[in-house]
Amino acid sequence: MTEHEDLLARRALCTRFLAGHGPATAASMLAAIPADTQLDTYGQGGVVAELETEVSRILNKPAAVFLPSGTMGQQAVLRVHADQRQRRTVLFHPMCHLERHEEQAYQRLHGLTGRPVGDQNRLITLADLTAVAEPAAALLIELPQRDLGGQQPSFDELAAQVGWARERGTAAHLDGARLWESAAGYGRSPAEIADLFDTAYVSFYKGIGALPGCCVAGPADVISQVREWRRRMGGTLHGLWPNAASALSCLAERLPRFPAYLEHARALAGALAATPGVTVVPDPPQVPMMHLLLRVTADGYAAAARRLATERGIWIAPASMTTTDPAVQRIELSVGDATLGFEPGEVSEIFAGITGHEAA
């Protein structure tokens, strides 16, 4: 049996899942698609149009377009901003998804130049931006910053950074892959956050747990051009309706729950911060997610996760992310429907066991 097969077998034995909304099965995903869903044709009409209208309403933007992936959506909208301004530089945090996980596609496919701003271990500040003299096409801000455990600037700082861009004729674009979490953290509606920006991207498979896909929202002329880029980049499939219908259903079901997710995340963090061998980042969580630094080796963590699955039927991330200290591992904990089934004391006990500090 391969390691992957072993993990799948252990996961199949689990009845409880710590992170997110729990396991996604074909049956559960298909169940989110209403039987009377109206089909689209090449992205036109039907439930795709319905979803685009709903996202426009939620974000208070004139128009929105559905695309099959965020990689495609963000590249397309940044290309439009660059062409409109006849500038090629895009400013972003050093841990930006475009820079780290997309094989520099923004450069290879669209001729854009990425310029990381600030330090990878903290959020971008207004001071970081004011040090940039180069005219830029767009400033991309990710909310929250996933690789920093879900941190985000104060709302006033965010507004100041967007204002800096506007003063220089630079488009302000929101990487809102987790905007639903961000809105809960700010205690504001998604529209209040999106209103600061020229354009906004939102994902549907992450926070709300729908099938893959995203929307980009903004001015009608920009969105019309993004639609053209969707076709050029191969994203205008004959039918986009399954993913759009899933997104529409999951938005209605889960968007109202994010304040409760945040409340539970902070309760868990309170217990975990008092657990030996565990550090919560950030503490307290700013959105319904956090990173945990665990004083355990990578092999020790993996073995503990497997035991937890086999002996107690509880599934957690099977592998950790390394840090500069081999004795400290990092994992991400996103809080969703499944997480609500765990009380803070139980989660503390789970991680105390992983770090070797369980009660005698």
Regarding whether 245 and 281 lie in a shared domain, the answer is no
Residue 114 C-beta-side C-alpha neighbours within 13 Å? 21
Domain that holds residue 235: 26-253
Strand partners, 295: 328
Q: Find the helix or strand (DSSP H, E) in which 174 lies.
A: strand 171-176
Regarding whether 126 and 224 lie in a shared domain, the answer is yes
Which CATH number is 338's domain given? 3.90.1150.10
Contacts of 64 (CB under 8 A, 6+ apart): 52, 53, 55, 56, 215, 216, 217, 218, 223
pLDDT of residue 5: 85
Regarding whether 309 and 244 lie in a shared domain, the answer is no
Regarding whether 20 and 51 lie in a shared domain, the answer is no
| Positions of the chain with pLDDT lower than 70, given as ranges | 358-360
Regarding whether 209 and 136 lie in a shared domain, the answer is yes
Please check whether residue 359 lies inside any domain of the structure: no
Which among 221, 236, 253 is the end of a domain? 253
Which among 237, 253, 269 is the end of a domain? 253
Q: How many domains does the chain have?
A: 2
Regarding whether 226 and 211 lie in a shared domain, the answer is yes
Separation CA 227–CA 337 (nearest Å): 34
Alpha carbon separation from 95 to 39, 42, 283 (Å, rounded): 38, 34, 20
pTM above 0.85?
Answer: yes
pLDDT of residue 358: 65
Regarding whether 68 and 210 lie in a shared domain, the answer is yes
Which among 204, 220, 253 is the end of a domain? 253
Q: pLDDT, tens digit, for every residue of 267-284?
A: 999 999 999 999 999 999
pLDDT of residue 360: 39
Please check whether residue 205 lies inside any domain of the structure: yes
Neighbours of 68 (CB within 10 A): 21
Which CATH number is 152's domain given? 3.40.640.10
